[in-house]
Amino acid sequence: MGEDEEPQAEVGVGPWEGAWPDDPRLDPELLREGDRRNVVDAYRYWSMDAIVADLDARRHPFHVVVENWQHDHNIGSIVRSANAFLAAEVHIVGRRRWNRRGAMVTDRYQHVRHHPSVEDFVAWARTAGVALVAIDNVPGSRPLERESLPRECALVFGQEGPGLSDEMLAAVDVVLEIAQFGSTRSLNVGAAAAIAMHSWVVQHADLPR
Ligand SMILES: C[S@@+](CC[C@H](N)C(=O)[O-])C[C@H]1O[C@@H](n2cnc3c(N)ncnc32)[C@H](O)[C@@H]1O
Q: Which amino acid is at 33?
A: E
Q: Bridge-partner residues for 175, per DSSP?
A: 134
* Per-residue pLDDT tens digits for 92-130: 999 988 888 888 888 899 999 999 999 999 999 999 999
| CATH number for the domain that contains residue 108 | 3.40.1280.10
Do residues 90 and 160 share a domain?
yes
Stretch 50-78: mean pLDDT:
94
Domain contains 137:
yes
Do residues 28 and 109 share a domain?
no
Domain contains 2:
no
Do residues 39 and 67 share a domain?
no
Do residues 73 and 33 share a domain?
no
Count of residues for the chain?
209
Q: What is the pLDDT of residue 1?
A: 43
Do residues 133 and 66 share a domain?
yes
CA neighbor of 198 nearest in space, from 91, 78, 102, 94: 78
Domain that holds residue 114: 62-204
Asked whether residue 201 carries a pLDDT value surpassing 80, the answer given is yes
Band (91; pLDDT cuts 50, 70, 90): very high
Asked whether residue 73 carries a pLDDT value surpassing 90, the answer given is no
Instruction: Name the DSSP letter for residue 70.
Output: S
Q: What is the pLDDT of residue 89?
A: 98
Do residues 127 and 172 share a domain?
yes
Q: Whose CA is nearest to atom 24 of ligand 1?
A: 136
Determine whether the shortest distance from the Cβ of 75 to ligand 1 is under 6 A: no
Determine whether the shortest distance from the Cβ of 178 to ligand 1 is under 6 A: yes
Asked whether residue 28 carries a pLDDT value surpassing 90, the answer given is yes
Out of 187, 197, 198, give the residue to mutate to test ligand 1, the one with the largest number of ligand atoms within 8 Å of its CB.
Answer: 187
Measured in whole angstroms, how far is the alpha carbon of residue 47 from the centre of its chain?
A: 21
Q: Determine how many CB atoms are found less than 10 A away from the CB of residue 58.
A: 8
Domain contains 127:
yes
